[in-house]
A and B are shown apart, each in its own frame.
Chain A
Amino acid sequence: METAQETIQQTGAKAETSKTFKGTGSQVLLNGLIEEGVTTIFGYPGGAIMPIYDALYDYADKLEHILVRHEQGGIHAAQGFARASGEVGVVFATSGPGATNLVTGLADAQIDSTPLVCITGQVFAHLLGTDAFQETDVINITTPVTKWNYQVTDAKEIQEVLAKAFYIAKSGRPGPVLIDITKNAQIQVEEFPEYIKCNHIRSYLPKPKVRIEYIEQAAELINSAKKPFILFGQGVILGKAEQEFKAFVEKTGIPAAWTIMGEGAIPTSHPLNVGMLGMHGNYGPNVLTNECDVLIAIGMRFDDRVTGRLDKYAKQAKVVHLDIDPAEIDKNVKADVGVWGDCKETLPLLTNLVNENKHEDWLAKFKEYNQQEIDQVITPELYPTGDEMTMGEVLRNINEICGGDAVIVTDVGQHQMVACRYAKFNNTRSNITSGGLGTMGFGLPAAIGAKYGAPDKTVIAIIGDGGFQMTPQELGTIMQFGAAVKILILNNRFLGMVRQWQQLFHDKRYSFVNITSPDFVALAKSYYIEAAKVDERANLKAALETMINHEGSYLLEVMVGRENNVFPMVPQGMGVSEIRLK
């Protein structure tokens, strides 16, 4: 290698035209990230990743590194970044505890198909298997929660592995990838070739070439349907197929309901958007799932929170399922027509073959159910008459102030369900929530990342009093790097979602759901973050306006009713049409 470099230096002309690079594995890694278009990294240093951080010192003008306060915060931030921007989120962590702190975020990103590339440092290759200081078998620990992972022990592998990592993370059904790099590879000096992006791996087919036969079969079913119903999920957003989806919905005139991961793929106010599916979804979409004649599922995976009891789910309907992942088709619900492919491609083909239609009578049924839900659930929640504030009225005020243009990041619990149910969205990639894993502690760090991913948007983190206490350390990240995140704590002084179940299904035996909180306002202020608390309705709107109009980050704690429940609800083990309004 030395001699090769010398040769190049001697024949100066060659060195100029050549895109080879002589340097360390760490440098070539950072060069590769730049080649992949990365601008922001969330990370935390440590012994086994020090050479990479040493190299990073010289890249400050090209790569912005956000020093989080805990690696879990780092990976959730990268998830928020990826979800808001549609780009790959990048995380750095050291070996051992640094790497194990990523595991929750990896599991979350894996189940929610979020594209990430995580780089972990590892002990020197010659120490592998010796229980060296901060050695953990990261590859094996993370295998079930990554789309792909790889351990690099030789710097010469770095470029190819990084290129593969980005390709795998973002193509097909996206997901998290982890690269573990031993310290020797980070410091190894080599003459590296030009970086080449990856666009093909022979054993990996991100998406198939669409077969028109599926499309024809699907179109035939849809065209003959009297009561067709569209269910859409995050696949529409992941495939960046919002326009194609809208065209399909509008041409067919079919009512469309969303999973919480697909929310916002078409605006809340769209006349064919009939609301939310699933356990805490809207009345009509759940009941009418069991009345429709053709169910058209687009980029959603029939999660059990959506289907309730499977043997009571849409048994009367023919099912058309559009999905990019063949393992999802026929997994939970048998498809009569499985349209395997990227919905960005399959939807326009399908739109071509379907008849223009209006389903006015059928749509009117959704409206009827919606009216019942408005009367019995929604109005009391959004316009409560009692003294206590409700989470719903907080969301109504946010809608009034932001008009549906904010990015809402939630944590997990009752406030999450209320936010998903009532927040208005004009734009895609605006509802960021931990869906499949339901990770408490996701909200605050994910909101930080979302702000970097969508810097021009108002980003509001809606978090429960319980969940906030899982990752409050990320206030430090906000303090240091200034992400202008609006933090809204909906404090019901309970682990509310669990309390609701204990009330409804465990005879009100409130077992360890009574959680106390610190003075959140003082806590925020100790991080030099502006903060306030409201406990009266009269001050709510003004307080929210102050928060949203404040320059920079702001924390607002709103005291809401202690024992409010989220309805409607499909109790676990019940069919979707057995949904309860109270």
Chain B
Amino acid sequence: MSTENTLEYKTTKADFEGKQEYTITVYAENRIGLLNRIAIIFSKRKINIESLNTSPSEIDGIHRFNIVIQESYEVVRKLARQIEKQIEVLKVYFNTNDEIIWQELALYKVSTDEIAERVTVERLLRQYGASAVVIRKDYTVFAVTGHREETDALVKALEPYELIEFVRSARVAIIKDSAGFHEKLKEFEAVEPGEELVENEFLDKGQKIFTM
């Protein structure tokens, strides 16, 4: 479980019910088994994880998970609290796509002969911002970094030209409105939680309560 702003999940969306894509960012201790603990929070509720990435974070020893799901705000909020409740999780954020900068990396293996013979392919590649990672006699590997639509579009475009292998990475995302975790970590390390640590969304509801 975490401290500061724990329950405060800023959202600009008036839409609480409808499903949309959310990227959940989890800061956690780097511990064996934690991935399973987090994954079963989703599977217990029969929620499909569309993309999952684990990586180091800006802080040594602290891991960062990016999890992408299609759900409503209410569901995501509850999931976030369940994740944050896990002992080794420090903090959970969740964001809609307009609140993050995100990328996925895709690799495409195509026959070099096809490429050589058919110039159109090369033009296609330029159009999709691909770069050649490996060029061999038998095959060539291209890479594209971008949003799902972009990486998908190249798959479509390459299909007629013998796409031998295709793979896409999980999403990695940076939160636009985040100052990183360095300062936060100090608060977590303090034995007594500070005053500011426990602001939460309930407080923000003040007006709603008394005008209702």
A168-B87, A213-B203, A335-B202 given; A326·B81 CB < 8 A? yes
Cβ of A582 under 8 Å from chain B: no
Find the B residue at minimum CB distance from A216.
Answer: B206
CB-based contact B198/A143 at 8 Å? no
Q: Which of B1-9, B98-106, B115-123, B158-166 contacts A (4 or more CB under 8 A)?
A: B1-9
Residues of A near B28 (CB, < 8 A) are 203
Residues of B near A140 (CB, < 8 A) are 33, 36
Residues of A near B205 (CB, < 8 A) are 336-337
CB-based contact A203/B87 at 8 Å? yes
Find the A residue at minimum CB distance from B31.
Answer: A150
CB < 8 Å neighbour of B193 from A168, A208, A335: A208
Residues of A near B185 (CB, < 8 A) are 202
Residues of B near A202 (CB, < 8 A) are 90, 185, 188-189
CA gap between A340 and B206 in the complex, in Å: 15
CA gap between A98 and B203 in the complex, in Å: 48
Cβ of B89 under 8 Å from chain A: yes
B195 to chain A, nearest CB (A): 7
Find the A residue at minimum CB distance from B187.
Answer: A202
Cβ of B199 under 8 Å from chain A: yes
A205-B193, A327-B85 given; A340·B7 CB < 8 A? yes
CA gap between A221 and B210 in the complex, in Å: 9
CB-based contact A326/B33 at 8 Å? no
Cβ of A199 under 8 Å from chain B: yes
A139-B33, A338-B202 given; A208·B197 CB < 8 A? yes
Cβ of A31 under 8 Å from chain B: no
CB-based contact B33/A325 at 8 Å? no
Cβ of A424 under 8 Å from chain B: no
A202-B189, A203-B188, A209-B195 given; A214·B202 CB < 8 A? yes
Cβ of A318 under 8 Å from chain B: yes
Which parts of A159-218 form the interface with B (CB within 8 Å)?
168, 172, 199-206, 208-211, 213-214, 217
A39 to chain B, nearest CB (A): 26
B35 to chain A, nearest CB (A): 11
Find the A residue at minimum CB distance from B43.
Answer: A144
CB-based contact A172/B209 at 8 Å? no
Cβ of B82 under 8 Å from chain A: yes
A139-B33, A204-B1 given; A337·B6 CB < 8 A? no
CB-based contact B198/A209 at 8 Å? yes
Cβ of A220 under 8 Å from chain B: yes
A148-B87, A326-B6 given; A340·B200 CB < 8 A? yes
CB-based contact A327/B82 at 8 Å? yes
Chain A 233-253, CB-CB to B under 8 Å as 1, else 0, gives 000000000000000000000
Cβ of A350 under 8 Å from chain B: no
Find the A residue at minimum CB distance from B44.
Answer: A144
CB < 8 Å neighbour of B2 from A200, A205, A221, A318: A205
Size of the chain A interface, CB-CB below 8 angstroms: 40
CB < 8 Å neighbour of A203 from B88, B206, B212: B88
B37 to chain A, nearest CB (A): 5
CB < 8 Å neighbour of A200 from B78, B191, B203, B209: B191
Cβ of A107 under 8 Å from chain B: no
A353 to chain B, nearest CB (A): 15
Cβ of B40 under 8 Å from chain A: yes
CA gap between A335 and B205 in the complex, in Å: 10
Find the A residue at minimum CB distance from B89.
Answer: A203
CB < 8 Å neighbour of A220 from B77, B81, B82, B210: B210
Residues of B near A327 (CB, < 8 A) are 78, 81-82, 84-85
CB < 8 Å neighbour of B1 from A139, A172, A211, A337: A172
CB-based contact A217/B209 at 8 Å? yes
The A/B interface has a contact count, at CB < 8 Å, of: 102
CA gap between A326 and B78 in the complex, in Å: 10
Residues of B near A214 (CB, < 8 A) are 202-203
Cβ of B192 under 8 Å from chain A: yes
A211 to chain B, nearest CB (A): 5
Size of the chain B interface, CB-CB below 8 angstroms: 43
CA gap between A337 and B33 in the complex, in Å: 36
B4 to chain A, nearest CB (A): 9
CB-based contact A340/B209 at 8 Å? no
CA gap between A208 and B192 in the complex, in Å: 9
CB-based contact A337/B87 at 8 Å? no
CB-based contact B198/A211 at 8 Å? yes
Find the A residue at minimum CB distance from B32.
Answer: A151
Cβ of B29 under 8 Å from chain A: yes
A216 to chain B, nearest CB (A): 9
A325-B85, A336-B209, A337-B209 given; A205·B203 CB < 8 A? no
Cβ of A429 under 8 Å from chain B: no
Which parts of A303-362 form the interface with B (CB within 8 Å)?
318, 325-327, 329-331, 335-340
CB < 8 Å neighbour of A336 from B32, B44, B212: B212
Find the B residue at minimum CB distance from A213.
Answer: B203
CA gap between A214 and B185 in the complex, in Å: 26
Residues of B near A211 (CB, < 8 A) are 198-200, 203
Chain B 1-39, CB-CB to A under 8 Å as 1, else 0, gives 111001100000000000000000000110011001100
Find the B residue at minimum CB distance from A224.
Answer: B210
Find the A residue at minimum CB distance from B33.
Answer: A139
CB-based contact A143/B203 at 8 Å? no
Residues of B near A326 (CB, < 8 A) are 1, 6-7, 81, 84-85, 200
CB-based contact A209/B197 at 8 Å? yes
A37 to chain B, nearest CB (A): 22
CA gap between A214 and B205 in the complex, in Å: 10
Residues of B near A143 (CB, < 8 A) are 33, 36-37, 40
Residues of A near B6 (CB, < 8 A) are 205, 208, 326
CB-based contact A331/B198 at 8 Å? no
CB-based contact A221/B209 at 8 Å? yes
Residues of A near B88 (CB, < 8 A) are 203-204
Find the A residue at minimum CB distance from B191.
Answer: A200
Which parts of B53-97 form the interface with A (CB within 8 Å)?
77-78, 81-82, 84-85, 87-90
CA gap between A91 and B192 in the complex, in Å: 32
Cβ of A415 under 8 Å from chain B: no
Residues of B near A220 (CB, < 8 A) are 210
CB-based contact B40/A217 at 8 Å? no
Residues of A within 8 A of B (CB): 139-140, 143-144, 147-149, 151, 168, 172, 199-206, 208-211, 213-214, 217, 220-221, 318, 325-327, 329-331, 335-340
Please give me the 5 A-B residue pairs with the lowest Cβ-Cβ distance, nearest first.
A327-B81, A208-B198, A338-B202, A202-B188, A148-B87
- The contact sample of 27 A-B pairs, CB cut-off 8 A, is A140-B33, A144-B44, A151-B32, A172-B1, A200-B191, A202-B188, A203-B88, A204-B87, A205-B2, A205-B3, A205-B197, A208-B3, A209-B192, A209-B197, A210-B198, A211-B199, A211-B200, A213-B203, A213-B206, A214-B202, A220-B210, A326-B1, A326-B81, A327-B82, A329-B202, A336-B205, A337-B209
Apart from A199-B191, A206-B1, A217-B209, what 20 extra A-B contacts exist at CB < 8 Å? A149-B33, A151-B33, A172-B1, A203-B188, A204-B87, A205-B2, A205-B6, A208-B6, A208-B198, A209-B192, A210-B198, A326-B6, A326-B85, A327-B85, A336-B208, A337-B202, A338-B202, A340-B7, A340-B198, A340-B200
